[in-house]
Structure 1
């Protein structure tokens, strides 16, 4: 085998290992329970600061109607 093939193979393997090492970093590498705790804190903070949207019953009904109309149209 030529050295260029071996070099290309080695480069490919190093990029695969680099991808694997990046795959489970930060938030994604955390325990699912820890992720939920952190996400919950963010949601609570958003509600306390007034930045979280809360649907009124009318808005929820309108969204439901819109979604059902979309489903019916795609089924035909």
Structure 2
């Protein structure tokens, strides 16, 4: 990039993310993620979470086929059964 060209937002974000990841560990990201989740739950109601859950479900269902859901359903059922047997 020449000195007179501006950096795109995408490029600036990528460079900033790379620099941040070099300076912080997994615990840092978990902590800021938790803080963000708490702030979001403080600022939004149940309907908000229902809407984003619905959107996420639609996006996921468009991406994965029937076999994916069958497999994760079986895994979940087996894990639950193990918990109930104990």
TM-score of the superposed pair, with normalisation by structure 1: 0.40
Rg (Cα) greater in structure:
1
Which structure exhibits the higher relative contact order, with contacts defined as CA atoms closer than 8 Å and separated by 6 or more residues? 1
TM-score of the superposed pair, with normalisation by structure 2: 0.37
